Amino acid sequence: MGLVKVVKNKAYFKRFQVKLKRRRQGKTDYHARKRLTVQDKNKYNTPKYRLIVRFTNKDIIAQVAYSKIEGDVIVASAYSHELPFYGITVLVMDCEELLNNTFKVGLTNYAAAYATGLLLARRHLKNLKLDGTFKGQEELTGDFYTVEEERGRRPFKAVLDVGLARTTTGCKVFAVMKGVADGGINVPHSENRFFGYDSVSKKYDAEAHRDRILGKHVAEYMRFLKEEDVVAYKKQFSKFIERGIAADDLEEMYKKAHAAIRANPERRPKEAKKYGERKRFTAQKITLEKRRERVQAKKALLLKLKAQQETM
């Protein structure tokens, strides 16, 4: 065997620099983050706002934020678990595989993603007192829409931050972005990644996108399941059945929810948890007079015991 040069020697490891912590954990794409957060120097201290969209198993998180050296500053936020307050019915399923635990579904689909983005936009603009100036697209058509200047005032601008999500055509991340854009916030985008865009013909079907936003794909599945398996239909859509919502009523439910979000997008106050009276395990302080009284009581007890011993 010939001479093999040792490349990773002691000098190599002494100079080795580990990557950033969130890169090692696979949580942050710093190549994208750098370009989303770096601001031009000629804009001085003007924040560069980002529309942050994240999906969990049971929730959708939408935030408007800007970065500082200490970390990100969240300006506004909206979550899909707030949607039931606006009339979007939540399905509750009992899964035998999960030891019959009850869990909520229907808050991470395409329609819920759009509603969450709309809620974020209207809430943030109301906080800035711009909700009357920039009303966005009040009638949902699915067409490509970007908010424009109103009376010489430019709209609030935020760039989309998708994190580690794969930006495929029809992805639910873009449903949140569509909701924010229709809500009156300027998010630079095109229709190339919306549901309904055909990359071959280079055409965008706005009607198909509108049907997706209003949950028509869920309504079609409800009709299919009702015909194929009535037991499964009653189990999966039990909350819809309780409230008298059929497949044909689903579109109207989402329309009413959008109107309710525009009417009052403010965050609802959270009820404080009530805790019982806490037990005290530390010794409680006593005053000087009580300490002297306790000493006198101990002396009297000792004298009494001594007198009893002497009499015995």
Per-residue pLDDT of 79-117, as tens digits, reads 999 999 998 877 655 544 433 444 566 899 999 999 999
Task: Give the span between the Cα atoms of 108 and 57, in whole angstroms.
Answer: 8
Share of the chain above pLDDT 70, in %: 95
Nearest to 120 by CA among 50, 204, 63, 42: 63
Give CA–CA dist 122/255, Å, rounded.
16
Minimal CA–CA distance to 117: which of 34, 24, 213, 37? 213
Rounded CA gap, 51 and 43, in Å? Answer: 20
Angle between helices 206-213 and 110-127 (to 10 degrees): 80
Work out the pLDDT band at 144, boundaries 50, 70, 90: very high
Q: What is the predicted pLDDT for the residue at 95?
A: 44
Could you give phi then psi for residue 262, rounded to 5 degrees?
A: -65, -30
- pLDDT-derived band at 239 (thresholds 50, 70, 90) equals confident
Two tokens at 265? 């997008």
Residue 243 neighbours by CB under 8 Å, 6+ apart = 89
Predicted local distance difference test score (pLDDT) of residue 179:
96
Going across the sheet that includes 60-68, the strands are: 71-79, 60-68, 50-55, 159-161
d(CA 48, CA 63): 14
> Which letter does DSSP use for residue 104 in this model?
E
124, pLDDT greater than 70: yes
The position carrying tokens 């079609």 is 220
Q: Are 49 and 185 within 8 A, CB to CB?
A: no
What local confidence, expressed as pLDDT, does residue 272 receive? Answer: 86
Overall average pLDDT of the 301-306 stretch: 92
Residue 150 has pLDDT above 90, yes or no: no
If residue 221 lies in a helix (H) or strand (E), which one and from where to where? helix 216-228
Rounded Cα gap, residues 159 and 173, in angstroms? 13
CA-CA-CA-CA torsion for 35, 38, 40, 46, nearest 10 degrees? Answer: 130
Q: Which one has a higher pLDDT value, 283 or 256? A: 256
pLDDT tens for each residue of 254-278: 999 999 999 999 998 888 888 888 8
What CA–CA distance (Å, rounded) separates 146 from 190? 9
| Domains, the chain | 19-263 (3.30.420.100)
User: How confident is the model at residue 92, as a pLDDT?
Assistant: 58
Q: Tell me the average pLDDT across 201-229.
A: 93
Alpha-carbon span 135 to 140, nearest angstrom: 13
105, containing H or E segment: strand 101-105
**Who's near 7: CB < 8 A, 6+ residues apart?**
none
Residues 203-230, mean pLDDT to the nearest whole number:
93
